[in-house]
Structure formats: C-alpha cells, structure tokens
C-alpha cells in the first residue's frame, strides 16, 4: 500500500537547521564542529537565572501547579506581561489582550492564520527570519520581500515597502532588532513604516524578541508610536531571559481604534484552544522572570556585545568579506565576495562546514537579499570565536 502525502511541504526549507544532518555526518567522521548556526545562548556559557528555575520547576511543581493552564495563558503571567510592556516599552495593554504562546514561532503561525487567506500576501523584510517566509505558504498565501539596505546598516527601504503593496497585502512585518542582520531601527524608520501602513490601511506585525538586546541606538516598539494603525506584537522569554527550550512567548494586539480587538482575540483564541495550553510550570517561571531581578540582562548584554565586536573585527579583516557592524541581537551577516567564491552561498557554507567544521547558515535561506551572505551567531566564548575565525580565514585564503 502506498500512502498519498501532501506536496505542499516539498519546497519548504528552514535554513538554520537544514544542514544539521551534514554536520552530524561530518562529526561522525571525526570532524570537530563549531556550531555557529542556532541562536541559543544556553548552548554556550549562559545559564537560566536561578530564580526563574526555582519558580517553575521547584515551587510550581512542588505546589502541584502542573495542570492544564488557561488557553490564553495564566492570568498571573498576562498581568506580569502587561506590567512589563508598560515599564519597558511604554505600551498600555490589558492582560485580556495578551495570549501566551508556545514560543514566538507559534505566535507567527497564529498571526498568519488569522490574517491570511489563500492567495494573500504578507510583506516581510529581506533578509528575514525564515518562518516569516515559510509560514504564509503553509496557509496557501505568500511572503513578498521588501528591501533592507545593507549599505545603510540593513535599514528598511520605505519606498520599496510602498512599491510592493497590492490589494492582496494583509500586513507589514517588522523584525527589530533584526535577525539575521543585527540591525536596530531608528524611531524615524519605525514611524515611516507605520505611516505607510496607515496610508494603505494595513496592520503591522512587530517581532520584538530581541528588544532587550541592544548595543547601539534605542529600541522603540511600533505599538508605543502608532496612533491609528493596529499593531500585533510578538515577544517571548527565550533570549533576554535565557529560556530557549522552555518554548514560551506571547502575542498581543494594540488597536488604537478598538474596532479590531475583539475579532482578533477571538480568532487567536480559537487556535490557542485547539492546542490546549502552553506549559504551565514554565509560565510560573516566566512570571518570576518579569517580576524578579533583571541584573542578568546587563551582564549578558556585556558579553553579547564584546563577542559581537570580536567577531566583527575578525571578519572585517578577512579578504573578500564585507560586514555591517551589528547594533543588537547576537547575529552577524557578512557578505561573501564573488571574487573569492563564485558559487552560491549554500555551497560556500557546505564547503566551509565539511573542510573546517565551522557551521554557519547560508544567507539565501533568509530571502532574496540574503544571497551571497552567511549568518553566524556571536554567542560562543572568545576562545571559540577566535578558533572559528582562524578556520574561516584559512578557508577563504585557500579557496
């Protein structure tokens, strides 16, 4: 008996993990692998703060808070998120307008599902985090990429956003601070995007998962600026609170007019109820994360910045590599000169992995503008970064 499988997923790729099987094969043959592909601080020398662990997996489990939580998220966490958004981002949002998700990834799926019908379009930056390109396709819609200008520090091209809007455009995506480029947008840029969204009557989807990891400039949430444009905000606990494997995030709608709020919450809740609830003990840990000590954020940002600057310096000195200095996050997105490698960026990354063991992500996996680049995480301790950079430089000089 032959099973008939859907063909809808045949062309879906997730570049960040796509070459993991190749890395495993190389490791099995004795190659030492330096993993610079996944943005997970806990894979290196960062640890979840003790008070978060105690709240989730000691206190909550000891007190038998292991039950199914509300599909919307436990009220204690939604109240803590509301307080946090007011304190950090100057956004007044009711706990009733917040839905707790299983990571930002689930939030992306929820938003795409409630806003996109077959044939619709979502405007996403190019380069972009791959899920914003892939998830619309799961719902038979498509992502339309707008330009982000490398020569201007990876800043969105407002005119190109306007040029790409059609009668099928359903939302404009902002990823700030940006993955994969490490850029941080100015308030002027954010206002420009909001103005275009208002001009065409389109909501904004704002991914803010790195909003507390900023080295230069100042983060501004579109929800704190918009006076008439609805803004869906996505955020979570993986990065600043070092809770990657806990899979916990949230989404809310800031709707100045109030006319879209009830419908949006109702539709998201339909999806939230279908998957029952997010992890309950993890939610109690997240309450402690938001209401407890925040000192670790300053310390991890110091490390993130120092390591980012080291990798930037080393890459800048390599022949055939040009790179924009990251202003936030823990990513860097160098350009590979065609003079040193005439093949595509995926082949470059595959050869680099097989010949040196350094595992980075090919830039074309982040969209059209990513072609000819690669993304590396800047998270490892400095000795590992130096080792990786030495190997990349030898590889480039030997091509």
Which ranges in the chain are annotated with CATH 3.40.640.10?
50-291
CATH class of this structure's domain 50-291 = alpha beta
**Virtual CA dihedral for 396, 335, 132, 146, nearest 10 degrees?**
-160
State the CB neighbour count (10 A cutoff) for residue 166.
Answer: 11
For 142-151, the CB contacts below 8 A with 24+ separation are 144/169, 145/367, 145/368, 145/369, 147/369, 148/178, 148/181, 148/183, 148/369, 150/324, 150/335, 150/369
* DSSP class of 277: -
Helices and strands in the chain: count of H runs, count of E runs:
14, 15
Which ranges in the chain are annotated with CATH 3.90.1150.10?
15-47+295-398
* DSSP class of 60: I
Tell me which residue of 69, 21, 25, 38 sits closest to 245, measured CA to CA.
38
How far is C-alpha 218 from the geometric centre of its chain's CA atoms? 18
Instruction: Pull the structure tokens for residue 231.
Output: 């803004």
CATH of 15-47+295-398, one of 3.90.1150.10, 3.40.50.300, 2.60.120.10, 1.10.10.350: 3.90.1150.10
Q: What is the pLDDT along the chain (399 residues), one digit of tens a residue?
A: 888 888 877 777 777 778 888 889 888 888 899 999 999 999 999 999 999 999 988 877 788 888 899 999 999 999 999 999 999 999 999 999 999 999 999 999 999 999 999 999 999 999 999 999 999 999 999 999 999 999 999 999 999 999 999 999 999 999 999 999 999 999 999 999 999 999 999 999 999 999 999 999 999 999 999 999 999 999 999 999 999 999 999 999 999 999 999 999 999 999 999 999 999 999 999 999 999 999 999 999 999 999 999 999 999 999 999 999 999 999 999 999 988 887 799 999 999 999 999 999 999 999 999 999 999 999 999 999 999 999 999 999 987
Q: What is the CA radius of gyration of the chain?
A: 21
CB 146 within 8 A of CB 140: no
Burial status of residue 320 (CB atoms within 10 A of its CB: 0-12, 13-18, 19 or more) = middle
Please count the CA atoms within 13 angstroms of the CA of 230 that sit on its side-chain side: 22
């Amino acid at each position: 008996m032959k099973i008939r499988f859907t063909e809808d997923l045949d062309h879906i790729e997730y570049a960040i993990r796509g070459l993991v099987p190749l890395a495993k094969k190389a490791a099995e043959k004795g190659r030492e692998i330096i993993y610079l592909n996944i943005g997970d601080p806990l894979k290196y020398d960062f640890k979840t703060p003790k008070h978060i662990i105690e709240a989730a997996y000691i206190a909550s489990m000891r007190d038998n808070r292991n039950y199914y939580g509300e599909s919307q998220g436990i009220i204690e966490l939604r109240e803590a998120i509301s307080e946090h958004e007011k304190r950090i981002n100057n956004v007044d949002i009711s706990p009733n307008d917040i839905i707790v998700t299983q990571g930002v990834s689930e939030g992306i799926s929820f938003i795409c599902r409630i806003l996109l019908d077959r044939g619709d379009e979502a405007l996403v930056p190019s380069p972009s985090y791959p899920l914003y390109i892939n998830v619309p396709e799961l719902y038979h819609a498509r992502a339309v990429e707008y330009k982000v200008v490398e020569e201007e520090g990876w800043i969105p091209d407002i005119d190109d956003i306007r040029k790409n809007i059609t009668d099928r455009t359903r939302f404009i995506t902002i990823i700030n601070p940006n993955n994969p480029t490490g850029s941080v947008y100015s308030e002027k840029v954010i206002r420009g995007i909001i103005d275009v969204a208002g001009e065409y009557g389109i909501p904004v989807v704002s991914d803010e998962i790195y909003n507390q990891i900023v080295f230069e400039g100042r983060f501004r949430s579109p929800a704190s600026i918009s006076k008439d444009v609805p803004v869906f905000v996505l955020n979570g606990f993986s990065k600043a609170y070092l809770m990657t494997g806990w899979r916990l995030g949230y989404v809310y709608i800031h709707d100045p007019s109030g006319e879209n709020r009830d419908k949006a919450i109702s539709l998201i809740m339909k999806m939230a109820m279908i998957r029952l609830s997010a992890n309950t003990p993890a939610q109690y840990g997240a309450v402690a994360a938001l209401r407890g000590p925040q000192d670790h954020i300053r310390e991890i940002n110091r490390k993130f910045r120092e390591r980012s600057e080291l990798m930037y310096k080393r890459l800048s000195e390599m022949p055939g590599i040009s790179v924009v200095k990251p202003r936030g996050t823990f990513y860097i997105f160098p350009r590979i000169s065609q003079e040193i490698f005439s093949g595509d960026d995926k082949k470059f990354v595959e050869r680099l992995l097989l010949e040196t063991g350094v595992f980075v992500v090919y830039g074309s996996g982040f969209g059209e503008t990513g072609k000819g680049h690669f993304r590396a995480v800047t998270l490892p301790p400095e000795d590992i970064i130096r080792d990786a950079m030495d190997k990349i430089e030898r590889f480039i000089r030997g091509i």
